[in-house]
Amino acid sequence: MKSESTTASLTRASRLRQSLRPTLLRQIVSGGLEPGKPVNESQLASQLKVSRTPLREALLQLEQEGFIRSDERRGFSVERLSAREIRELYPMIWTLEGLALHSSAVCAHLLAPGLARINSELAKSRDPKRALDLDAQWHERLISQSQNRRLHETMSALRLSIRRYETVYMADTRLLPESVAQHNGIIEDLKKHDVEAAVKNLEKNWRFGMEMLIRKMGEE
């Protein structure tokens, strides 16, 4: 039988691992840990004031989620940005957001005022990080009336996966007016109770972002 001290020690270790994952994930999606660059475990452990064992466990978890890769000789590195991942993720995003919007079609028009307020702030934003947060808020508000819990959980994971790409997109301030205009078109569709048109324009909004990012990756 395990002693109370051993049980308490295991509990603390588990909590440490759980707290490390979101900390590392924030660094990855914000660019603090750069795509394609090796992870300096000693430096990172010192920075986070933890030992390397729980750090490695957290990195292994992030590897399973697609943010980190490992090599027996080279250790851990941050997964590179890729056009392939963009092509895989973005269609999933617009399909599931469209599904969520369809599921709340009866009251979707009630979202228009809140969406317009967020979009107005987005139009005035000059800070890429602020613009990124506002754009995420806008899309979250758009599907907020859906009661599908599993869909929301899936969408949250997908938003996390594309955050690095959306950071690249929002860094190009020339693209912001087009995003704002596309959002306004979707808002007008909702005001007219035309959810089908809103879903189609929502796909165009995400597809535009996908195509711009693929071009930035040097592909057509």
Q: List, in sequence order, every residue forming a beta bridge with 75; answer none if it has no partner.
A: 71
Amino acid type, 40: N
Q: Are residues 178 and 212 in the same domain?
A: yes
The candidate with the shortest Cα–Cα distance to 43, out of 57, 33, 35, 30, is: 33
Q: Are residues 138 and 186 in the same domain?
A: yes
Q: What is the pLDDT of residues 44-92, one digit of tens each?
A: 889 888 888 889 888 988 888 888 998 878 889 998 999 999 999 999 9
pTM (predicted TM-score): 0.81
What three-state secondary structure class fits 84? helix
Residue 37's domain is classified under what CATH number? 1.10.10.10
Q: Are residues 70 and 87 in the same domain?
A: no
Range of the domain at 137: 83-216
Q: Are residues 124 and 212 in the same domain?
A: yes
Contact 10, 51 (CB under 8 A): no
Place 10 in a pLDDT band, splitting at 50, 70 and 90.
very low
Place 204 in a pLDDT band, splitting at 50, 70 and 90.
very high
Q: Are residues 62 and 117 in the same domain?
A: no
Map tokens 């190009």 to a residue.
172
Q: Are residues 194 and 151 in the same domain?
A: yes
CB atoms within 10 A of CB 184: 16
Query: Which token pair is 87?
Result: 């092509």
Q: Are residues 112 and 162 in the same domain?
A: yes
What three-state secondary structure class fits 78? strand
Q: Which pLDDT value is given to residue 7?
A: 52
Q: Are residues 39 and 130 in the same domain?
A: no
Which domain-ending residue is among 78, 103, 125? 78
Total structural domains in the chain?
2
The candidate with the shortest Cα–Cα distance to 182, out of 113, 145, 135, 137, is: 135
Res 117 pLDDT > 70:
yes
Q: Are residues 38 and 140 in the same domain?
A: no
